[in-house]
Structure 1
Amino acid sequence: MSALPINVQPVAEPGTGYVRKGDGVPRVDGRVKVTGQARYAAEHGAPDMVFGVVVSSTIAKGRILALHLDAALAVPGVVQILSHLNRPRMRKLDLFYKDMTAPAGSPFKPFHSDGILYSGQPVALVLADTFEAARYAAALVQVDYAQEPHETHLLSHMERSHKPSRLKAGFSPPPNETGDAQAAFDAAPVQVDAEFYAGAEHHNPMEMHATTVLWGPDGHMTVYDKSQSSQNSRWMASHVFGISKRKLTVRNPFVGGAFGSGLRPQYNLILAMMAALDLKRSVRVVLTRQQMFTFGHRPETWQRVQLAARADGTLAAVLHQAIAETSRLEDYVEVVVNWSGQLYRCDNVKLDYRLVALDHYSPIDMRAPGAAHGVHALEVAMDELAHAAGIDPLALRLHNYAERDPQTDMPYSTKELRACYEQGAERFGWSRRPTAPRSMREGPELIGWGMATGQWDAMQMFARAHAVLHADGRLVVSSAASDIGTGTYTVMAQIAADALGLRLEDVVFRLGDSTLPVAPIEGGSSHVTTVGSAVEGACEKLQRKLFALARALPDSPFAHARLSDVQFAEGHLVLRNATVPTALSLQRLMAQAGVHRIEAKHLLLPNLLKQKRYVRATHSAVFCEVRVDEDFGTVRVTRVVSAIAAGQIMNAQLARSQIMGGVVWGISQALHEESHVDHSLGRFMNHSLAEYHVAVQADVHDIDVLFVEEDDRIVSRLGAKGVGEIGMVGVAAAVANAIFHATGRRIRSTPMTPDKVMAPGMGWAAGDSAVGIGPGAGGTT
C-alpha cells in the first residue's frame, strides 16, 4: 500500500502572508494535489483489502430469474459474490434510504429484490483479493431475466405527465397564474411560440464514484466516500444498516469534482458497506466510467415558451411549460419555469411544470439544475422576440427590467443586473453589433454576437464551526464542509485569517469528516454564505475572548477600550487611534495571560424572518461571439464576456475560476453534451468519454469575467453570495442567440451539433424530428 499519510492537511505556502477577504490568493490545497499527496476515495488502503466490482443489468425492466455464478466463483482470489439472494441484514423501509436531499417517493434500494428497474442496475457484487480478479470474475457472471416492456422515451409519453410532489428541499412549484396570459398572448401584435428540447446529460467528473470501507479491530468503520457531504453519507449508511453513528465515520477530504453527482449517496456506498459487514474486512468498490452512467443525470426536458409583446417591446404575456423525466420510484423535481416569472416585468404570466415517469434511475441535480434548461429556453425566446419586434436584444431586456420580483412584488436583497448589462456590454463592444443576421463574415466563417441573462438563487443554510487558537499562533478551524474543487479549504482559511489578522499559512481549515461540526451538503452555491459565515462567527467569538484577556492584563493599555476600539492585524491586537502606537502580538498576549489555547464555537442560523421578506438571487449578463462554418456546420465560441453580480467576492482568483468553469460547461451544454438512449434497449449508449462529448481545450477560447460591485448583508453576514452555479446559467442561450445572429437559423434543441446548424430553415433541425417531436414545433409570428 502507499506510504502516503492517511490525512494530508492543506496549508498555504510559507510566505503567503497576511490576507484579507477578497484577495485573489492561490489554493492552499494546490501543492498536495499536484504532488499526489491528496488522497481520494479509492486511494485509501488496508492490508486485508477486498476489491468489489459491480455487475450491471443488461435490461431496462423485468426481474432476475437466475444468477449463474460458478465460473466467477472459480476464479482464484474470489471470496464472495453478493446479490439479492445473500445480502446481509438491511432495513427495508423507504425512510431509512432517504438521504438529506431525497425527493418524494421510494429511494432505490440495491439488492433488495429480483426486480429490475432500469438498465445498468447493480445485480451482483464480485469480491476478490485483487481488483483484477474481481473484474475478470464479474465478466463471467451470467444472468437470466424475465424481460418486461419498458418506456424510456420522454417525447413519446408526454400525454401521461403528472404534477409532481412538492416534497424536495429547495423546490418551489410554479406560482399561480397572474392575469390572463393566454388572452393577452392572443391579443398582442408580436408573438413568439417556440418549443425546446434538451436531452439527458451525465456528470463526468475526473474522479469516478468510489467507496473505501476500512474495517477497524473493534468493528468501527472508517468510510472514504465520493460525496458532497460526509454527514449525508453517514446519515444514510447508518440508517440503512442500523449502525450507531459512533461506529461509523465518513470522510471526503478531497473530491475530484462532483457537480451534483455526489449530493445523494450513490449505490457504491451501500454495496461497499454491505460487503464489509458481510466479510468483516476492508472493502473498496470503484465504479467504471461506463457505470458512471448508471445513476442520476440531468433529466431530459421538453419546454414550450410563448412570449407576446406590444409594438414597443413591452411584454404582454409570458407562458412557459416544461415536461421533464423522472423515475418510476421518485418524483425528482427542478425549478425550471419559475425563472420566467421573475426575470422580467409582465402582468400576465402562466407557468406549468410536469413530470413523466420512465424506466430510468432517478435524475439528480447537475450544476445549475433547472435554470440550465429553464433560463435557456426563456432567453432564446427573448432573443426571438427582440428579432420579431425589431429591437436590440439588450434593449429589450432593459425595457422590461424588473426592479422588484414581478410574481410577489417583493424587493430583491440586492440586484445589480443592470450593472452587469452595462459593464458586460461595454467590455464586449455590444454597441458595435449590427442588427441583421448574417451581417458579419471573415473568410469562410459567419460571425455572430449573442447575449443572455442569468439568474440563480442566493441561498444560506445552517452550519456550525469550531475555532481553536493555539499559543504558538496557529489557528485551527473546523466544520464538516466539503471541497469539491471549488476552493473551500482556501476561502474558509482566508475568512478566518482576515478575522484575526493572521498569516494564511498559520491557519488550518479542517473539513471532510462526519465527526466535525455540522455543515450542509456542498451544493447550490451555499457553502461560502453558510459555512463562511459560521467561520467568521466563531472567529469573532475568539476576538472577544482575546480582547477580554488583553483588558485583564496588569496595567493593560486596553483596560478602558471597547472592542470597537481595536483591530486584529498582522498577528497583533492593535488599539485604534491611540496617542501612542499600541499593539500586542496574539502569541505574547496568550503567554502573558498563561493561556495555551482559546476556542470558540458558532452556530450559524439564517435570519429567516428577515430573509423571507426579500428575493435573494445572483445575476449575470453573458455576451458571446461565435464563428460558424456553414459548409461543415462547425461552431467556435471565440469570445465570452460574463458579468456577474454575486455579492462580495471572498477570493477574486477562485471566484473567477468558478465562473470560467461554468462558462466552459455552458459551451459544452450548447455544443456537445447529450446522453443518447437506444430506446429498444432502454440503455444509454454513449457511456464513455470517447463518445460522450464534452468541451475540451480546443473548444475554449477567450473568456473574460468581471464582477460588478455588490454587497448583500441580507443573504450573509459576509455580504457574499455563491458563484458556483451562476457562471453556467445563460451561457448556452447566449451561444444559441449568437448562432442565430451569425446564420439566421434558430436552433431550439441542445446540443447544437453540426447537423442542426447546417439544417435549412428555423425551428427544429432535421435530427430533431427523429426523436419524435412531431408537429407544432413553433416559430416566430
Structure 2
Amino acid sequence: MKENYTGTPTNRVDGKAKVTGEAKYAAEFEAPGLLHGVVVNSAIAKGKIKRIDTSAALQLDGVHQVFTHENRPGYSWFDKHHQDEDAPPGSPFRPLGSDEIKFSMQPIALVVADTFELARYAALLVQVEYETEPHETNLEANLDQAYKPKKYKSPPPSSPRGDAAQAFERSAVKLEEAYAHPAHHHNPMEMHASIAIWHEGGKLTVYDKIQGVQNSQKYISTAFGIPQEDVQVISPYVGGAFGSGLRPQYQLFLSVLAARELKRAVKVVLTRQQMFSFGHRPHTIQKLAIGASEEGKLQAITHHAFAETSRFEDYNEDVVIWPGVLYDCHNVEVSHQLVGLDVYTPLDMRAPGGTTGTFALECAIDEMAYKLNMDPLEFRLKNYSEKDLNEDKPHSSKELKECYRQGAEKFGWANRMMEPRSMKEGHQLIGWGVAHGAWEAQQQEASAKAVLSPEGKLKVSSATADIGTGTYTVMTQIAAETMGLPLEDVTFELGDSTMPKSPLEGGSWTVSSVGSAVKLVCEKLQEELLKMAQNMKNSPFSEAKPEEVSFANGQMFLTHAPATSLPLTAILEQHEGEPIEAEASQKPDKEQKNYSSYSHSATFVEVQVDEELGTVKVTRIVTAVAAGRIINPKTGRSQILGGSVWGIGVALEEHTVLDHQLGRFMTHDLDKYHLPVNADVHETDVIFVEEKDDIVNPLGAKGLGEVGIVSVAPAICNAVFHATGKRIRELPITLDKLL
C-alpha cells in the first residue's frame, strides 16, 4: 500500500540539527586564517565625506586594512545595470562607491582585523568629517512631491473600471478616510552575515545569509567581474529573513571586496543596530473612498496609496490590488505613487503590499458596514466576488465562503452584539472583529536533481532555501511519496548555488515551484527505473507503460496487478553498482494564465481593552485558511500561527521611529522596537478549509507564508473599534491613541 506522506502532519526533518546546534548558519562556518570585518556607518543622512582618517586604526597590531571610498578597488560595480533578482527599478546602491552620503547609517568603511573585538575597537578610531546637506525623510510633509514611477517592481496598478468618481457621488452611503502605518523592520533572529573565502586562482566560496544563493552568486559575479562558475555561495540554514534576505545586503559586498584584495577569508557580521540600516516595510499613507447603496451593495471604491522610496530606486508594492481581488465592485479607481526621500530603499517584508493594503481596505469596509448598520461579516458576504475583477478571470479555486462559515462557527460570531462598547467583563471592554485577506498563489520555474543509490536511498536537491518555513521537510515528503520510499530513506539538500536552479525563497511560491520540480524529477527517475526493469530477463514489465506502473514500499508494481512487483534495489542491480540520476525543470502550465489563483483567509479576533488604562489584549484569534492542498498541516499551521503573532505586532506594537531632524531610525534594537512576546499571545486557532485545485500547479498546493498575516491586523483594529467605539486609523494602536 502506498504511503501518503503529503497531507500528514510531519515533524521537521532538520529539527534535531537545529536544536542540537549541528545546523550551521552563515557566520558559524570556519576557514583557515579567517579575518573579521566591522562596518563603519555614516553619522549623517545626506552630504559628503570631507575627510576620513583611518591612521589610528591602521596603527593597531592585527589590523590588516581599512577600506573606504578612497582606497577601494575599481571593479565593475559602478555599472548600474548590475541588479540583483529582487531589485526595484533604478540605480542600486554600491558600498564605498564615492564620498556621497545618501542615507543615515550608510556603510562608509570596513575595518579588517585578526579578531572581531579588535576590528570593532579599531572601527571606533576611524575619524570622519562631513559636509552636511539638508535632508528630507518625512513622507507626510512631502506628499506634494509624489510621482508615478516610470517602471514598477510589482505589476502596475490596474486601469480604472467604470466611473468611480461619478458612482461615488451617486451613492446613498459614503465613506472617505485616510489610513497609515509607519516603517517596520524585519528583525529576524539571525543577523545578516557573510564569509568570503578566497582561493588560489581567483575562485570564491561564500557563506551568506540569503533567501536565494544563486541571487548572491549572480550579484558577486556581475559586481566583481568574476565568472559565475568561479563563485560558489552556500546557505544551508537561515535563521529567519521575512524578505530581508531576498536582496544581497552590504555585508556580502564588503566581505567579498576584502577577501579579494587581501587574498584571505573574511567574515562580516552586522550588528542588531546595523540591521536597521537597510530595507524596511515602507511608511505608507492610503486614502480610500467607498460608496454603497442603502441595501449595502458596493457602488464605488477609490484606493490611492502614497509610499516612501529612496532617491536612487523606485520601490513599490501591490498595495492597491485588493479591492479588485476581494470585492464585487464595478466602479474602481486605484493608484500607487511614490515619494523619494533620503532613506535606503524599502524592501519586501512578509506579504509586501498585502499587509499594508488589506489593513486599510478591511478597516474601511468595517467602517462602511457600521455606516449601513449591517453586520461586518454579512456586508462582506453581500459583496463577495466570484472572480478576480482586476484580471477579469475566474479563480482556479476559491473556498472563502467556507472560511467565513467555519471561522465564524468556531469563533461564535453569531453571539456578537453589534453596538460598540456593548460587550463588557468588569473593567474590560470586549470587542469582536473580522477581516479577510488573500495572497497570490504563484508558480515559478524551478529545477531539481534526484539520485537513487544502489541501496535504494534517494537524494534530491535544488538551490532553494529554508528560512524556517519547513522546506527541507515538505520536499522530503513530496519526494518520498512520489517515489514510494520510506521518509527516512530520502534526503533533500538545498542552499548551494551549484545545485539546480531555483527561484528566490519568497512570495509563498516555494512549495508550488520547487515542490513541483521535485515531483517531476522523481517521475523521471521512475521512467528510468521502468526502462531498466524492461531490460531484465523475463521482465513482467516488458510491455508496461509509465502510467500503468506505481511505486510503494520501495517497490515498483503494476497498478492493476499489485502482486506483480520488483524491489527497486533489484532493478538497480542492473546498473553495476552505480546510482541512477535525473534532472528536471518544471514550468507553470499555460492553462494557469486563464485563471486567477489566490490563497484566502478569514480572521476573527477578540480583544479586551481596559476602559480606564486603554491597554489592549488580544485574547482569541481564529483564522480559517483555504490554500489548496496542505502538504504538511503541522509546519503549515506554524506558518499561520507565526502570521497571527506578527499581525498582533503590526496592529499594536511595531513602529520604527524616524527622527526627521537627524534623518535616522532611532528604534534600532529589540529593546526599543517592540515585538509580540509570549505574554501577548493567547488562544489561537487555525482551520484549514478543504480546497481542491487542479490548475494552480501539479501539487494543487498554494502558499501559506503570507496569507497568514494579511487579515490579522485589520481584524484586531476592527475588534478594538467594536470594544471602544473609537476608530484608530494610524498604526500601531497604542494606549495614548485610545485614551
TM bucket normalised to smaller: over 0.9
Contact 1:673–1:693, Cα closer than 8 Å, also in 2: yes
The letter of the residue matching 2:416 is R
1:181 and 1:728 mapped to 2: Cα distance? Answer: 29
Structure 1 137/437 Cα, relative in aligned 2: closer, same or farther at 3 Å? same
Contact 2:620–2:683, Cα closer than 8 Å, also in 1: yes
**CA drift at 1:517:** 0.6
**Aligned equivalent of 1:459:** 442
**Aligned equivalent of 1:8:** none
Contact 2:78–2:94, Cα closer than 8 Å, also in 1: no
1:349 aligns with 2:315: no
2:134 and 2:82 mapped to 1: Cα distance? Answer: 27
Greater displacement, 243-252 / 121-130: 243-252
2:391 and 2:271 mapped to 1: Cα distance? Answer: 47
**Aligned equivalent of 1:207:** 190
1:606 to 588, 598, 604: 588
1:604 and 1:339 mapped to 2: Cα distance? Answer: 29
1:421 and 1:30 mapped to 2: Cα distance? Answer: 34
**Aligned equivalent of 2:16:** 31
**Aligned equivalent of 1:618:** 599
**CA drift at 1:167:** 4.2
**Aligned equivalent of 2:26:** 41
**CA drift at 1:413:** 1.1
Greater displacement, 130-139 / 339-348: 339-348
Contact 1:201–1:297, Cα closer than 8 Å, also in 2: yes
Alignment of 1:516-595 (within 5 A): 516-578=499-561, 581-591=563-573, 594=576
Greater displacement, 229-238 / 584-593: 584-593
**Aligned equivalent of 1:244:** 227
The letter of the residue matching 2:679 is A
The letter of the residue matching 1:302 is I
SS at match of 2:563: coil
**Aligned equivalent of 1:258:** 241
**Aligned equivalent of 2:260:** 277
1:87 aligns with 2:72: yes
**Aligned equivalent of 2:696:** 715
Alignment of 1:153-172 (within 5 A): 153-168=138-153, 171-172=154-155
**Aligned equivalent of 2:462:** 479
**Aligned equivalent of 1:311:** 294
2:162 and 2:566 mapped to 1: Cα distance? Answer: 65
**Aligned equivalent of 2:430:** 447
2:349 to 344, 366, 374: 366
**Aligned equivalent of 2:478:** 495
> Per-residue displacement from partner, 1:575-627 (whole Å, max 9, x unpaired)?
2342x8233211122125646322111111112x3222111111110111111
2:80 and 2:494 mapped to 1: Cα distance? Answer: 28
Greater displacement, 589-598 / 102-111: 589-598
Contact 2:78–2:97, Cα closer than 8 Å, also in 1: no
The letter of the residue matching 1:136 is Y
The letter of the residue matching 2:74 is R
Contact 1:318–1:341, Cα closer than 8 Å, also in 2: no
1:684 and 1:134 mapped to 2: Cα distance? Answer: 25
1:636 aligns with 2:617: yes
Misfit runs of 4+, over 4 Å: 592-595
1:658 aligns with 2:639: yes
SS at match of 2:572: helix
1:98 and 1:245 mapped to 2: Cα distance? Answer: 15
**Aligned equivalent of 1:296:** 279
Alignment of 1:143-158 (within 5 A): 143-158=128-143
> Per-residue displacement from partner, 1:653-703 (whole Å, max 9, x unpaired)?
111111111111111101110100110000000100000001111111111
The letter of the residue matching 1:458 is A
**Aligned equivalent of 2:669:** 688
2:469 and 2:458 mapped to 1: Cα distance? Answer: 22
SS at match of 2:257: helix
Contact 1:457–1:618, Cα closer than 8 Å, also in 2: yes
1:324 to 307, 312, 326: 307
The letter of the residue matching 2:572 is M
The letter of the residue matching 1:641 is V
Contact 1:94–1:107, Cα closer than 8 Å, also in 2: no
2:355 and 2:79 mapped to 1: Cα distance? Answer: 30
Q: Percent identity?
A: 54
**CA drift at 1:92:** 4.2
**CA drift at 1:523:** 0.7
**CA drift at 1:69:** 1.6
2:40 and 2:559 mapped to 1: Cα distance? Answer: 67
**CA drift at 1:567:** 1.6
**Aligned equivalent of 2:117:** 132
**CA drift at 1:165:** 2.9
The letter of the residue matching 1:447 is I
**CA drift at 1:96:** 4.9
TM-score, normalization by structure 2: 0.98
1:597 aligns with 2:572: no
Greater displacement, 477-486 / 218-227: 218-227
> Per-residue displacement from partner, 1:408-438 (whole Å, max 9, x unpaired)?
3311111111111111111111111111111
- How many positions carry a matched residue from both structures? 738
1:521 and 1:260 mapped to 2: Cα distance? Answer: 10
1:98 and 1:675 mapped to 2: Cα distance? Answer: 27
1:117 aligns with 2:102: yes
Contact 1:32–1:38, Cα closer than 8 Å, also in 2: yes
**Aligned equivalent of 1:12:** none
SS at match of 1:330: coil
The letter of the residue matching 1:604 is Q
**CA drift at 1:568:** 0.9
Greater displacement, 565-574 / 283-292: 565-574
**Aligned equivalent of 1:78:** 63
1:54 and 1:163 mapped to 2: Cα distance? Answer: 35
**Aligned equivalent of 1:749:** 730
1:49 and 1:96 mapped to 2: Cα distance? Answer: 32
2:95 and 2:78 mapped to 1: Cα distance? Answer: 13
Contact 2:555–2:568, Cα closer than 8 Å, also in 1: yes
2:649 to 668, 673, 677: 668
1:182 and 1:708 mapped to 2: Cα distance? Answer: 38
1:683 and 1:244 mapped to 2: Cα distance? Answer: 38
Aligned-residue CA RMSD in angstroms? Answer: 1.3
The letter of the residue matching 2:203 is H
2:81 and 2:196 mapped to 1: Cα distance? Answer: 20
1:456 and 1:94 mapped to 2: Cα distance? Answer: 35
1:362 and 1:477 mapped to 2: Cα distance? Answer: 37
> Per-residue displacement from partner, 1:263-314 (whole Å, max 9, x unpaired)?
1000111100110011000000000000000001000000011111101100
Greater displacement, 171-180 / 223-232: 171-180
The letter of the residue matching 1:432 is N
Contact 1:25–1:651, Cα closer than 8 Å, also in 2: yes
Contact 1:106–1:330, Cα closer than 8 Å, also in 2: yes
**CA drift at 1:468:** 0.9
Structure 1 94/155 Cα, relative in aligned 2: closer, same or farther at 3 Å? farther
1:404 and 1:217 mapped to 2: Cα distance? Answer: 59
Greater displacement, 175-184 / 640-649: 175-184
2:546 and 2:662 mapped to 1: Cα distance? Answer: 69
SS at match of 2:418: coil
SS at match of 1:382: helix
Contact 1:96–1:236, Cα closer than 8 Å, also in 2: no
1:516 and 1:176 mapped to 2: Cα distance? Answer: 41
Give unpaired runs (5+ residues) of structure 2: none
Structure 1 93/22 Cα, relative in aligned 2: closer, same or farther at 3 Å? same
